Amino acid sequence: MKNVLCAKCVRCGREYPATPDTTVCECGGILDICYDYEYIRSHVSREYYARCDEIGMWRYRAFLPVEESTPAPPLRVGASPLYEAPRLASQLSISRLWIKDDGLNPTASLKDRASSLAVAKAMEAGADTIACSSTGNAASSLAGNAAAAGMRTFIFVPSRAPIGKVAQLRIFGATVISVEGSYEDAFRLSAEAIDRYGWYNRNAAINPYLMEGKKTVSFEIAEQLGWNVPDYVAVSVGDGCTIAGVWKGFQDLHAAGLIDRLPRLLSVQAAGCYPINRAARSGAPWEPMPEDTIADSIAVGVPRNPDKAIRAIQNSHGLTIEVTDDEILDAMRLLGRTCGVFGEPAGVTALAGLVKASQNALLPDNASVAVIVTGNGLKDTANGIRAAGEPIHLPPDMTLLEEALKDVM
């Protein structure tokens, strides 16, 4: 990889060659992939992208840690729309607001960006089987992207994973182990099994390449804004890999001279589970928390990628906000009704955080904000109905209809 220098430990600074199956440092620290930005600069520019006709995240291959000869996996990941939302912006007293709908990825979450990269690295490692543990979306995206590339998957999910996500897993042919217990329990069992059977490991905590796939969401936001950057980017946070990736993406573009400033991060967690926000605010080491929220994708009491996430929030001079389940359900309705976008609970948590930030006047009046919707609401229709209510139930009778509609019109 001519664009990659090494994999460097975020804790002790030790450097390793970036091999396809690189995992963690000897000290237990997570590795960060370091790039040769001189090399990248000599290959891409705004002019290059104006002419580039590749669609999706592999358009940004110059910034991705893969061999030049490695083919892009088959599913089309990325190229998700960035909608400007002027009515919602004025409701929230924000000068400009954009919604990045990453629920429109092939398996309906931002996790596809990480899984596409994981499949490419598994191909480089010569693996034919990949495994991971996940709150649901990492699993379904791995299963889908691996299926398209002809690979087998073994997936560990906590038993609370919504049925929509489990259905995806089964349809994509994964062997699914639904673990009685928390995400932490599922993670531990998967780690043991990966050791035992030698599968390629797509656990976000261990695999330093996943974040490198997730960062492509920032490349898209910047390019969709004409290589401009919003003042804030709001992200929902569980393990912390997504927000760390978002930050890395903007840093990469800055280092390569494609953008001339960096955004601040708005890190949003559930009020029932916010170990990363708590540590980012206090500066003290993070501590585990219970996992008490309907936003299953971010119910992560023992985050696996806290170091990079906390550093990203702090380095960006970011804000940390927690939202209750009711505020998350409100945001599901609000997003659907003002933008026509259906997000799952964790998918709209960033928006719920922005609503709260605006209510508490935490942002300057002229702020511009991009909100990332990280997962599609069709994965979790039970919470959709909980957020928006039942339809009008009626026998087929016009008089009854007229009566019922009086209340609505």
Ligand X SMILES: *Cc1c(COP(=O)(O)O)cnc(C)c1O
Give the footprint of Zn ion on this chain (CB under 5 A).
9, 11-12, 14, 25, 27, 29
232-236/152-158 β-pairing: unpaired
Site string for ligand X, 335-374 (x = CB under 6 A): ---------x-xx--------------------------x
**Phi/psi of residue 365, nearest 5 degrees:** -55, -40
**What, of ligand X, Zn ion, none, does residue 241 touch, CB below 5 to 8 Å by kind?**
ligand X
* Closest separation in Å from C-beta 24 to Zn ion: 8
Residue 72 or 237: the one with the smaller Cβ distance to ligand X is: 237
Distance between CA atoms of residues 174 and 310, nearest Å: 33
Distance between CA atoms of residues 137 and 166, nearest Å: 9
**What, of ligand X, Zn ion, none, does residue 327 touch, CB below 5 to 8 Å by kind?**
none
**What, of Zn ion, ligand X, none, does residue 297 touch, CB below 5 to 8 Å by kind?**
ligand X
Residue 208 or 240: the one with the smaller Cβ distance to ligand X is: 240
When asked if residue 241 is in the footprint of ligand X (CB under 6 A), the reply is yes
When asked if residue 298 is in the footprint of ligand X (CB under 6 A), the reply is yes
When asked if residue 182 is in the footprint of ligand X (CB under 6 A), the reply is no
Distance between CA atoms of residues 278 and 314, nearest Å: 12
List Cα–Cα distances, 215 to 60, 242, 270, in angstroms.
Answer: 10, 8, 23
Question: For ligand X, how many residues bind (rule: CB under 6 A)?
Answer: 20
Q: According to CB under 6 A, which one of 238, 306, 353, 384 is a site residue for ligand X?
A: 238
Residue 16 CB neighbour total at 10 angstroms: 16
Residue 256 or 351: the one with the smaller Cβ distance to ligand X is: 351
When asked if residue 375 is in the footprint of ligand X (CB under 6 A), the reply is yes
**Per-position DSSP letters for 204-265, written without gaps between them:** TTT-TTHHHHHTHHHHHHHHHTTS---SEEEEE-SSSHHHHHHHHHHHHHHHTTS-S--PEE
**What, of Zn ion, ligand X, none, does residue 344 touch, CB below 5 to 8 Å by kind?**
ligand X
β-bridge partners, 16: 7
CA angle 13, 17, 21 (to 5 degrees): 110
Residue 27 or 382: the one with the smaller Cβ distance to Zn ion is: 27
**Per-position DSSP letters for 309-357, written without gaps between them:** HHHHHHHTT-EEEEE-HHHHHHHHHHHHHHH---B-HHHHHHHHHHHHH
* Closest separation in Å from C-beta 248 to Zn ion: 18
* Closest separation in Å from C-beta 371 to ligand X: 12
β-bridge partners, 266: 234, 319
For binding to ligand X (CB under 6 A), which residues are involved? Answer: 109, 111, 137, 204, 236-243, 297-298, 300, 344, 346-347, 374-375
